[in-house]
Amino acid sequence: MLFNFKDVLRSMRLGFSAKKIWVGFLGILVGTIFYAILSYVALTLTSDWNWVTVWREYRYIPVPIAGYTVMPWYSWAIWIVGVALFVIVNLLAIGAISKITYEQVKGNEFYEITEAIKFSIKHWKGIVLSPITMIIICGVILLCGFIFGLVGRIPYLGQLAIGLLFVPIAFGALFLVYLTIVLFLSFLIAPSVVGTTKSDTFDTLFEVFSVLNDQTWRVVVWEALVAFFSVAGICILAWFTKKALTLTCFTIPLWQGPRGWFTAMWQNGIWYLPSCPPVVWVENLAGRFLPTLLFPHTWATQNWATAFGGFCIGIGFHFIAFFVLAYGISVWSAGQTMVYTVLVKIKDDKNLLEVKEEEFEEEEIKEEEKKEKIEQEKKEE
């Protein structure tokens, strides 16, 4: 490694790995399953929805929209839990990819996927609780602001108290803005901190604060670079994937015969895609990249085999989309690992790769000493 911005430029190449993309795919798949189940539960708890109507409206992945979808507060609470589980699962997946990237940079090209997943689950506290802790801290400070609002309702004394405490309150609000930035950064870099240092919640948060305070502009610029590479990777892979699907849709129907069985299966597979949410920017995005989501599709009725084939193609479309997004997550995770490793070298003059190698050598020496002691005890016996 060169320990400068050139290492960050390697994000797309490091992210182009079957192991990392597979971990990202699993994260999206498992997170989506949790989210979909809880979203179905949230919608079906209302009187206007049941399992059949939810399926007809949303297919596999329900996406209720605030202000458009009418649900009681407890249904929204369940839906938020589903979103949180999706985020948590993908944070763990990013942590596993960061661990694979870290081992790869160290020279261990054969680090296994199962070991990376076990590592991420074992150290879940540093990955998950770091942003949760920041959310709680920000929530407490925000609650204090609401309490000051209640204090101000006290006649005379309330207004006097708020007037005297205005400057501390303003600085408290400024501190909350700063903590919000730290919260956002903790979501971005905490999995990579844990993946490279095995840190707990406190140490992870300390590193997030340290990186932000000591290397502010590098963090901003390099995070923007990683985000650009991730989006570019998704767009490039999506373009090639679209051409592959176009080729598939062109070649197979050539000899399908007069029944048009594949055309019917293809149309039924498109029917399983989710409808575009009634949000302006989402509709504009779909119109540019996935215009098929903007128009309703009819179900082609032939026989049970065609219906089952269309169901499988619908699932396949979702898997292909997850695969494309997984490459973006892989690039993102690899880039975050590079960013943190380089920043630690710059701000602390500490090479994480060498430190871990020394620790690994010390562990090997200790294991050899234990084996020698056991052999000596056996000989004495």
Cα distance between residue 336 and residue 186, in whole Å: 11
Cα distance between residue 164 and residue 356, in whole Å: 53
For residue 302, the model assigns a pLDDT of: 74
Dihedral of CA 259/260/266/270: which sign?
negative
**CB atoms closer than 10 angstroms to residue 213:** 12
For residue 336, the model assigns a pLDDT of: 95
For residue 378, the model assigns a pLDDT of: 64
For residue 369, the model assigns a pLDDT of: 64
Cα distance between residue 40 and residue 62, in whole Å: 7
* 8 Å CB contact between 313 and 15: no
Cα distance between residue 371 and residue 375, in whole Å: 6
Over residues 14-73, the pLDDT tens digits come to 999 999 999 999 999 999 999 999 999 999 998 888 899 998 888 899 988 887 888 999
For residue 225, the model assigns a pLDDT of: 95
| Cα–Cα–Cα angle for 262, 266, 269, rounded to 5 degrees | 135
- Amino acid (one-letter) located at 86: F
Over residues 195-216, the pLDDT tens digits come to 999 999 999 999 999 999 999 9
Q: Where do runs of H (alpha helix) occur along the chain?
A: 5-8, 11-15, 18-44, 51-58, 73-106, 113-122, 124, 130-151, 157-164, 166-197, 201-214, 216-251, 261-271, 280-289, 304-348, 352-380
Cα distance between residue 57 and residue 39, in whole Å: 13
| Cα–Cα–Cα angle for 234, 238, 239, rounded to 5 degrees | 120
State the distance between the two ends of the chain, measured CA to CA, in whole angstroms.
51
For residue 234, the model assigns a pLDDT of: 95
Q: What stretches in the chain show pLDDT beneath 50?
A: 356-362
Cα distance between residue 104 and residue 20, in whole Å: 11
Structure tokens at 363: 């562990």
Cα distance between residue 219 and residue 212, in whole Å: 7
Structure tokens at 338: 């590079």
